[in-house]
Structure 1
């Protein structure tokens, strides 16, 4: 599993590519739409932004995967939204929208997981690398 620094470099590179190409390059990765997710740091209270993929989009609901590449620990962004579900999302460099994060229930995950793996086979591989169940997060517009 890559160290935190490598994830930060990959995120910064992705954002730079989007900025330099004015959103023409980097909106999709491995066939999935990309999004920018901003959470509030659970320790710092400061905004934290990461680039993620969305293997499933159902209407206004966007599903993201807290895989961290199959690492045994949850990604920091997941821990942040677990503690504060009010997030902001920019899908494919679109406008930033306030959204609410909801960690999928076991029933929701059972229905969504096959669709997630269909969207990107690698998520299934990540699950085999770890003993933790990789959480799915549903992002919905804040009302």
Structure 2
């Protein structure tokens, strides 16, 4: 299946094994927890994405869920990709946000309430292009081509 993600592939995508990706997630969350939040989050720079903690509510369980995600800033908005370590199924946090778009994020500067929407059309193309410019973005299209569906670009706007 073709998608806008794979129109400009930049070489073959090579991913580490799934067990390695999952272990890295567990270690990252543990590092954040053990350090009391001092380690694990970072602000984005013009060349490198930042790291934030996203708090959602489970769409079926109703219990709080937390994920640490890469992001960049687009004005007041935070932009992330709904990928599951480049695996095909959508990440649970994205399914939770689709059911309940209001969430909270922890950033290095504090917590804020946000409302999520999926970027589409020209907005999606513009934001995807920004991700390509960030460190590691040269393989973005090749990695996205590994998925059977388009990778959602998720915009988290400040809640009013």
Structure-2-length-normalised TM-score: 0.75
Work out whether 1:137 is the aligned partner of 2:151: no
What is the distance in 1 between the residues matched to 2:36 and 2:59? 31
Q: From the two aligned structures, give the one with the greater helix fraction.
A: 1
Give the equivalent residue in structure 1 for 2:24: 10
SS across alignment from 1:133: coil
Stretches of structure 2 lacking an aligned partner (at least 5 in a row): 1-16
Compare CA radii of gyration and give the structure with the larger one.
2
Work out whether 1:105 is the aligned partner of 2:120: yes
Is 1:70–1:128's contact at 8 Å kept on the other side of the alignment? no
Q: From the two aligned structures, give the one with the greater strand fraction.
A: 1
**CA RMSD, 1 decimal:** 2.4
Q: Give the length in aligned residue pairs.
A: 139
Stretches of structure 1 lacking an aligned partner (at least 5 in a row): none
Which is further off, 73-82 or 123-132?
123-132
Which is further off, 102-111 or 12-21?
12-21
Residue 76 of structure 1 deviates from its aligned partner by 0.9
> Which structure exhibits the higher relative contact order, with contacts defined as CA atoms closer than 8 Å and separated by 6 or more residues?
2
Structure-1-length-normalised TM-score: 0.83
What is the distance in 2 between the residues matched to 1:59 and 1:68? 26
